[in-house]
């Protein structure tokens, strides 16, 4: 098994927030319908990997807390549910197209770390989140950036 990695997961807080994860304890990161994000979950995310939970499309957007991968990728059940917004008629139980990992709440940040703060920190200029046109909801965070983000969070 490889050393734990760090990831950033985006969610709109009105859809699913860090407070929701705290209340639930764990959740399956369902509904991701981007192949690159799916591949990260299927092929690279491991139990024990650290997660920065990011509130997107919020006012202000920013880092809201920490979570950890608590179970490996499994088929995303929403792809099979015709009533789900994430239903995929081309996906079958014998050949699922979409996978998700389970995440467990670790802690929320007392104060959200706004996107504007991240953009102002020159040490984060290469952070994937800050790249123009970057919309992935699941993205890797290199160790050097993870350390900086933890410092900003007061860790």
Residue 4 has what pLDDT? 83
What pTM did the predictor assign? 0.94
| Residue 48 φ/ψ region, left for φ over 0, alpha for ψ in the -120 to 50 degree band, beta for the rest | left
For residue 56, being part of any structural domain is answered with yes
Which structure tokens are listed for 140?
A: 């890797």
Please tell me the predicted confidence (pLDDT) of residue 93. 94
Residue 54 inside a domain? The answer is yes
Instruction: Judge whether 1 lies within some domain.
Output: no
In 3D, which of 74, 84, 83 has the Cα closest to residue 38? 74
**In terms of Cα–Cα distance, which of 155, 112, 128, 115 is closest to 8?**
128
Are residues 91 and 97 in contact, defined by beta-carbon separation less than 8 angstroms?
A: yes
- What pLDDT is recorded for position 1? 58
Q: Is residue 19 part of a domain?
A: yes
104 lies in a domain? yes
| pLDDT block averages, 10 residues each, the chain of length 155 | 87 96 98 96 97 96 98 98 96 96 96 96 96 91 96 88
Angstrom distance (rounded) from CA 104 to CA 76:
17
**Total domain count for the chain?**
1
Looking up residue 40, the CATH number of its domain turns out to be 3.10.590.10
Domain region containing 43: 6-152
Asked whether residue 144 is domain-assigned, the answer is: yes
Answer whether residue 124 is part of any domain: yes
């Amino acid at each position: 098994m490889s050393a734990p990695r760090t990831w950033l997961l985006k969610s709109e807080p009105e859809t699913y927030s860090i407070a929701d994860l705290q209340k639930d304890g764990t959740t399956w990161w369902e509904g991701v319908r981007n192949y690159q994000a799916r591949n990260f979950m299927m092929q690279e995310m491991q139990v024990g990997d650290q997660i920065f939970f990011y509130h997107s499309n919020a006012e202000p957007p920013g880092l809201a807390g920490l979570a950890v991968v608590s179970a490996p990728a499994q088929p995303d059940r929403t792809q099979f549910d015709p009533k789900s917004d994430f239903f995929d008629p081309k996906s079958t139980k014998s050949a699922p197209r979409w996978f998700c990992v389970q995440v467990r709440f670790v802690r929320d940040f007392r104060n959200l770390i706004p996107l504007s703060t991240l953009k102002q920190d020159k040490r984060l200029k290469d952070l994937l989140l800050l790249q123009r046109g970057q919309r992935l909801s699941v993205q890797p965070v290199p160790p050097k950036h993870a350390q900086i983000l933890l410092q900003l969070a007061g860790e």
